[in-house]
């Protein structure tokens, strides 16, 4: 057999191995985007819808084991690529826009919430990995942070899905509740926007709640939120160090990766590139548009890998922990925006 024929056979073999799972992930992803056109479901981002659709499909209809390889690729490799590509949506100038006060408030709210959540999780007897995922999702940026943090934590798909479900519940509640609290607390538009950006979980939820207070509050909320997103990199690096020192095996059965995950290095490199202004917008714009789709596909894969039976074993304590974390970051952020000059 010639070299060319051997390569062709290898390509055909890879296609046959991954195609069933990738096609299924694509269908679930498309369904998630379709659901946002339905009443009541339009408030959920496709990423969130995707993990729920995947979970329901896997636990009711089911799928052939032949799909497992493609699902695994979408849930791991594609996810890391998508998180790295988030770097093209961030610049160091955005940090300058909110000033040193905004950056310090974001770092303080993130650090306090993460540490408090992990500590309470230990007291409640919540699995350590799940507690870390809930802490990351609440303190940084919801589902994306959970996915990124799991590269270091090494939890299984059920833990990831449970964490995303909790973040969705309380983040959505915050999106509807916060605009009513603005008038009650007599918050100025910029103060309200910073509070939203410091405490609401998902970027889409920040947009929904922030612009309810007007254009200024909405823009402030988004920029403040992006400052939190940028802190995903140091958080994941820190978690990698902690998990290595603990000597715990990964729950997902995979070998420990490098101390600094490669996708985090990619994330940081793309932030630097985007900040430099050297990247042609004609190249950047399509990638920025594709990144949420890749994240949604990854969430579809995680949903497909979730077993309801295993999910129920977690009980209500992680849900209680998530409620505490959401309330904690709301109060800490409110104190910071009112007390820090």
DSSP secondary-structure letter at 61? Answer: T
Joined together, the tokens standing for residue 214 give 């007007």
Question: Are the beta carbons of 106 and 223 closer than 8 angstroms?
Answer: no
pLDDT number for residue 119: 95
Sites in the chain below the pLDDT cut of 50? 1, 3-11
Q: Do the beta carbons of residue 135 and residue 113 sit within 8 Å?
A: yes
pLDDT tens digit string along 115-147? 999 999 999 999 999 999 999 999 987 877 888
pLDDT at 209: 82
Q: Considering the entire predicted model, what is its pTM?
A: 0.76
> What does the pLDDT read at residue 6?
43
- CA-to-CA distance for 161 and 293, rounded, in angstroms? 18
Distance CA 2, CA 83 (A): 39
Residue 176 tokens read as 């509807």
CB neighbour class for 85 (10 Å; exposed up to 12, middle 13-18, buried from 19):
buried
DSSP 8-class letter at 73: H
How far is CA 43 from its chain centroid? Answer: 17
- Euclidean distance between CA atoms 285 and 313, whole angstroms: 43
209 alpha-carbon distance from chain centroid: 18
The CA-CA-CA angle for residues 55, 78, 38, to 5°, reads: 45
Alpha-carbon span 27 to 29, nearest angstrom: 5
Write down the pLDDT at residue 9.
45
């Amino acid at each position: 057999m010639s070299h060319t024929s051997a390569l062709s056979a290898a390509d055909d073999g890879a296609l046959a191995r991954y195609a069933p799972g990738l096609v299924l992930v694509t269908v679930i992803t498309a369904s998630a985007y379709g659901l946002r056109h339905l009443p009541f479901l339009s408030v959920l981002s496709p990423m969130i819808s995707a993990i729920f659709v995947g979970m329901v499909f896997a636990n009711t209809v089911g799928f052939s084991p032949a799909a497992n390889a493609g699902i695994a690729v979408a849930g791991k490799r594609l996810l890391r690529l998508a998180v790295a590509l988030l770097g093209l949506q961030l610049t160091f100038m955005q940090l300058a826009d909110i000033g040193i006060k905004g950056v310090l408030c974001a770092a303080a709210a993130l650090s306090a919430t993460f540490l408090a959540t992990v500590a309470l999780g230990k007291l409640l007897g919540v699995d350590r990995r799940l507690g870390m995922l809930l802490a990351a999702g609440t303190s940084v940026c919801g589902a994306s942070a959970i996915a990124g943090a799991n590269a270091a934590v090494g939890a299984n798909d059920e833990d990831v899905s449970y964490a995303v479900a909790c973040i969705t519940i309380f983040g959505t509640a915050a999106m509807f509740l916060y605009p009513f609290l603005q008038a009650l607390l007599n918050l100025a538009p910029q103060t309200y926007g910073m509070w939203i950006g410091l405490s609401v979980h998902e970027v889409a939820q920040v947009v929904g709640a922030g612009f309810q207070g007007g254009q200024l509050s909405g823009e402030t909320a988004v920029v403040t939120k992006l400052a939190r997103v940028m802190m995903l990199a140091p958080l994941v690096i820190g978690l990698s160090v902690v998990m290595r020192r603990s000597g715990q095996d990964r729950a997902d059965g995979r070998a420990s990766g490098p101390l600094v995950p490669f996708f985090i290095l990619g994330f940081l490199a793309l932030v630097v590139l985007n900040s430099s202004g050297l990247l042609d917008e004609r190249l950047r714009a399509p990638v920025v548009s594709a990144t949420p789709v890749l994240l949604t596909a990854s969430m579809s894969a995680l949903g497909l890998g979730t077993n309801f039976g295993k999910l129920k074993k977690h009980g209500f304590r992680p849900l209680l922990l998530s409620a505490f974390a959401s309330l904690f970051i709301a109060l800490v952020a409110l104190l910071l925006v009112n007390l820090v000059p």
